[in-house]
Amino acid sequence: MRVLLIDAFPLVRAAITGLLEQEFEGASVQGIDNAAAAWAALAEQWPDVVLLDLRVQGGLELLQRIDLERLLVPGKRVLPAKCLISKERGHRRAGRSGN
């Protein structure tokens, strides 16, 4: 499984990479810290999974480009997901988009 992980924080990328490689034998994770480099990586080779932090500068635009690419090339799928963190209460809620 090839994973493209886009997150601005090196510690977050390292933690997620370690988790994925531990849980999924043979997982190959490419960590990138910005939307421009992520788009270049996508142009080179489309991964099996893209994990994108929308708070990365240009993240929303990257998601829109990924979604457009999915429409233009059959077989590419996008699974929207969200993870909301409340700084005030320290609560976290994760789930599929729309939940």
pLDDT at residue 83, as a whole number: 58
What are the extents of the domains in the chain? Answer: 2-96
Residue numbers of the chain with a pLDDT score lower than 50 = 89-99
pLDDT at residue 89, as a whole number: 47
**What is the 3-state secondary structure of the chain?**
CEEEEECCCHHHHHHHHHHHHHHCCCCEEEEECCHHHHHHHHHHCCCCEEEECCCCCCHHHHHHHHHHHHHHCCCCCCCCEEEEECCCCCCEEEEECCC
Is the CATH number 3.40.309.10 carried by domain 2-96? no
pLDDT at residue 81, as a whole number: 60
